[in-house]
Amino acid sequence: MTAPDSVNFTRTKNTGSRLSWQGLHLSVPEKWNPLKLDGDDAKGSLLLADLHRSRLAVRWSVLPEKTDPEKWSSRVMTEEVGALAASEAVAHDPGSQWAASRLYVEPDPPGRDVWVGMHRATRRGVEVVYQAKRRDRVLVDSVLPGLYDTGRSGEGAAMWSVFDLNFTLPRWIPLVGKTLNAGDLSLSFADKQTAITVRQVAVAQLALKRFTLEQWLGRMQWVDRARFKPVGEANRVEFVTVNGRALAGWSRRMVQRRRYAWMRWAWRELTTLALHDVSRDRLIFVQGTDPQLPTRVAETVGDASNV
């Protein structure tokens, strides 16, 4: 197969957005949005599409220590494009962090361009399939150079970005739930130490015509009223995000109801923030079992530079 750099590509404008999901980070064209998100950090997939069709599929799985990366890469490429085309794949490492990385470029589009590789640190095998309508450099020049893997980042920060909701958790906490509706995005995380939910509602101007921000806070907490009761009145809060945006709104604490005291494994309290991000015209809600965590996370919401 002809090397990717010598193929007669159509040049494309390299403008895009970040997608950070389960520790995997991609740079994709702005008009592409997630259509499907499945699995967890150990094994999963995502599908991105524009207004017309599916454009990019990404699959990943953690490979056992005994797995030979080269054999795995060869097998996956063969399964994806067939033995004849797989023999034409070339080595293509987008950033020296990948082992057994191979790239197949469809010589006569429309067709599929395929890249596979195993991350050396996380041992996640990643497969990227691009639906090429014409011979362009979207996969080679945009998607692959922006591909990196942080996996379970331990005590380090964990970045998440999907649609226009992006934020950073101070450490890795597994994702346990998601709601990705138009104008209402929510991600929930939990482990044995803490639980936290980050929600974003757009457009704020329209949302605030339905309810005041304090009423939105009450609606956010209503879901948990069976097990928790509010403590006192809501308090006004104001702070500045890590990139200098001003956020203002309400905060209220809830504690576990007495009849649930026997559930020693259950969370004892919840702290909820309801904030108006005026510059982005978004409502931001962060609710967590650790009183300090919601504020720390809210300070990073909307900071695209982190992802």
**Structural domain span for residue 58:** 4-149
pLDDT at 5 over 70: no
Give the residue among 180, 150, 171 at the shortest CA–CA distance from 37.
180
291, part of any domain: yes
pLDDT of residue 171: 93
pLDDT of residue 109: 85
State how many domains the chain has.
Answer: 2
Extended strands (E) in the chain = 16-21, 24-29, 33-39, 43-49, 54-62, 90-91, 98-104, 111-119, 124-132, 148-149, 158-162, 165-169, 175-181, 184-190, 195-201, 228-240, 246-256, 269-277, 282-288
The domain that holds 290 is classified in CATH as 3.40.1000
Q: What count of residues does the chain have?
A: 307
177 and 125 inside one domain: no
144 and 177 inside one domain: no
| CA-based torsion, 97, 101, 107, 113: positive or negative | negative
- What SS3 class is residue 172? coil
pLDDT tens sequence across 161-176: 999 999 999 999 999 9
Q: Read off the pLDDT band of 14 (50, 70, 90).
A: very low
261, part of any domain: yes
121 and 199 inside one domain: no
pLDDT tens sequence across 31-46: 999 999 999 999 999 9
pLDDT tens sequence across 194-225: 999 999 999 999 999 999 999 999 999 999 99
Distance CA 286, CA 186 (A): 10
Across 79-83, 131-135, 257-261, which has the greatest mean pLDDT?
A: 79-83
pLDDT tens sequence across 174-190: 999 999 998 999 999 99
129, part of any domain: yes
265, part of any domain: yes
177 and 113 inside one domain: no
Residue 257: how many CA atoms within 13 Å on its side-chain side?
A: 8
pLDDT tens sequence across 106-130: 988 888 999 999 999 999 999 999 9
Domain closes at, from 107, 123, 149: 149
pTM of the model: 0.89
161, part of any domain: no
141 and 239 inside one domain: no
Locate 285 and state its tokens. 């809600």
156, part of any domain: no
Locate 68 and state its tokens. 């030979």
